[in-house]
Amino acid sequence: MPDILIIDDDLHIGNLLEESLKNADYSVSRAFTGKDALQILSTEKPDLILLDLMLPELSGEELLPLIRDIPVIVISAKIDVSNKVDLLLGGAADYVTKPFDMRELLARIAVQLRKNDKNELTFRDLTLYADTLTVKVGNTEIRLTRTECAILKLLMQNPLNPVGKSAMLEKISADTPDCTERSLKQHISNIRKKLQSVNGEDYIEAVYGIGFKMKS
Amino acid sequence: MPDILIIDDDLHIGNLLEESLKNADYSVSRAFTGKDALQILSTEKPDLILLDLMLPELSGEELLPLIRDIPVIVISAKIDVSNKVDLLLGGAADYVTKPFDMRELLARIAVQLRKNDKNELTFRDLTLYADTLTVKVGNTEIRLTRTECAILKLLMQNPLNPVGKSAMLEKISADTPDCTERSLKQHISNIRKKLQSVNGEDYIEAVYGIGFKMKS
DNA sequence: AAAAATGGTCAATATTTCGTCAAGATTTTG
DNA sequence: CAAAATCTTGACGAAATATTGACCATTTTT
């Protein structure tokens, strides 16, 4: 029974959401302000978050980058397109505009939860299937090695912030215990080459003296 | 489990705070006078401080500039606006006025702890993201180098008091072991140039013979 | 007012880090 | 065991960053 956190100050919509979700057999938590939400998130870890952008005190835009490792579906009245791009770049998993069709929302929720189960990560037009060691660049699939996959996964998990080199080494040491900063450099180069072979684009950016991040 | 230090001579309020914080799963320390607080801070390093302004012996206003590297939320009965500005300029991370709503305070605490995690500092219209080596000047982001970031961070941590040159060198020596007073001067110049490129403003002020501080 | 010390900036140089090729070492696969 | 895939390492040019010298402006001291 996946747990879903609704962050919305509008009681009417919130109640409607809660009821529909409970009918669909999800377990539901509620937050009514951004700060509420932060407090709840400091103790609980839901499987998915529904986030209304219009929040008192701390807006949804501000809240979004503070959430990690949990798929967020943004609910908003704004139809602004650049805004949508910003949201998705900023880590939102998906996006629906008010007024929305409840069946559509439920479908999108199911998609996100399934992705989560299957260890699937998306960033721009990259989709990483960590279980099967493949990435899709646009429509073409590419095979990665185990370490390449582990590295790309780390980068795609925090698309905004750079990941330090030592941090990477620690986290992938399970697979490759004797990977050094020297070889890490080489793996990054190999990942780049594989991704570039599709459309010539470079998805990875170096942060001098720190580590690497996805290019925004 | 973040540790929070309550500095308040009012037993009633202090107890109330302690109980609520413990319910929210924080670990709590107490100080009842400014001198108490200094003593505790010389041995412990809490993650956040709740500071009442009205203190015997050593007032909150006097204590505030002595605290470094730890976010301080001021609790005060005064609603004086210039006072509020002074506090924030003086290094307070946030403030609430008595009587306060406990849920709001908890939310503000959560926000500050998050910011602390993310190594985020604000001064006027500057926001420094130390993890990602960027500053926001108004709405435009600028990249800094490692040392530039370390220097600006030091300055923004004590926005009122000048930071001595030798003190700076010590604290950034982790990153750049052979930075001298000569090169420090150059780094400051580079930071200025980068910030000025946005809106022409100079955020850094030299204190002749001592060091540098942020311009108020 | 002159001298001395400190602060500010430009431009050149030195150092560190990055990116990649190619070769050797190790592991996996058939 | 042999072949293939993967991982690690050395080398070297390129890019980013750090340091230094030179020179003038400003402040303090004498």
CB distance B9 to B33 below 8 Å: yes
CB distance B64 to B51 below 8 Å: yes
- Fold (CATH) for A3-117: Rossmann fold (3.40.50)
Instruction: Tell me the C-alpha to C-alpha distance, in Å, between residue A164 and each of A80, A212, B113.
Output: 34, 7, 21
Positions 17-76 of A with beta carbon below 7 A from strand C are none
Instruction: Tell me the C-alpha to C-alpha distance, in Å, between residue A189 and each of A152, A155, A158.
Output: 12, 14, 19
Tell me the per-residue pLDDT of A42-69, one tens digit each, with 9 for 90 and over.
Answer: 788 999 999 998 877 667 777 887 787 7
Nearest to B108 among A35, A210, A213 (CB): A35
Nucleotide nearest to A210 (CA to C1'): C17
Tell me the per-residue pLDDT of B154-167, one tens digit each, with 9 for 90 and over.
Answer: 999 888 889 999 99
Least Cα separation, residue A101 to chain B (angstroms) = 32
- Mapped onto helix, strand or coil, the DSSP state of residue B74 is strand
Q: What is the length of chain A?
A: 216
Least Cα separation, residue A107 to chain B (angstroms) = 32
Beta strand pairing status for A126-129 and A120-123? antiparallel
Q: Using the CB atom, is residue B166 less than 7 Å from strand C? A: no
Tell me the per-residue pLDDT of B135-189, one tens digit each, with 9 for 90 and over.
Answer: 999 989 999 999 999 999 999 988 888 999 999 998 887 777 678 889 999 999 9
Domain with CATH 1.10.10.10 in chain B: 120-214
| Other Cβ atoms closer than 10 A to A158 | 16
- Domain A121-214 class in CATH: mainly alpha
Site from A7, A9, A30, A39 to mutate, B interface, most B CB atoms within 10 angstroms: A39
Please answer yes or no on whether B146 and A66 come within 8 Å at the CB atom: no
Domain with CATH 1.10.10.10 in chain A: 121-214
Bin A10: left if φ > 0, else alpha if -120 < ψ < 50, else beta: beta
> pLDDT band at B118, cuts 50/70/90?
confident
Element at B196 (helix H, strand E) = helix B181-199
DSSP one-letter code for A136: E
Considering the four listed CATH numbers 1.10.1040.10, 1.10.530.10, 1.20.1250.20, 1.10.10.10, the one that applies to the domain covering B120-214 is 1.10.10.10
Domain with CATH 3.40.50.2300 in chain B: 3-117
Beta strand pairing status for A72-76 and A94-97? parallel
Please answer yes or no on whether B131 and A208 come within 8 Å at the CB atom: no
C-alpha to C-alpha distance for A184 and A154, rounded to whole angstroms: 13
Q: At what angle do helices A165-172 and A146-157 cross, to 10 degrees?
A: 130
Least Cα separation, residue A194 to chain B (angstroms) = 26
**Number of inter-chain CB pairs under 8 A, A vs B:** 43
Tell me the per-residue pLDDT of A99-110, one tens digit each, with 9 for 90 and over.
Answer: 889 999 999 999
Q: At what angle do helices A11-23 and A102-117 cross, to 10 degrees?
A: 60
Q: Which residue of A has its CA nearest to B106?
A: A39
pLDDT of amino acid A51: 92
Q: Which residues of B touch A39 (CB under 8 A)?
A: 24, 106-107, 110
Q: Which residue of A has its CA nearest to B2?
A: A42
CB distance A52 to A60 below 8 Å: yes
Nearest to B114 among A33, A38, A209 (CB): A38
DSSP one-letter code for A66: G
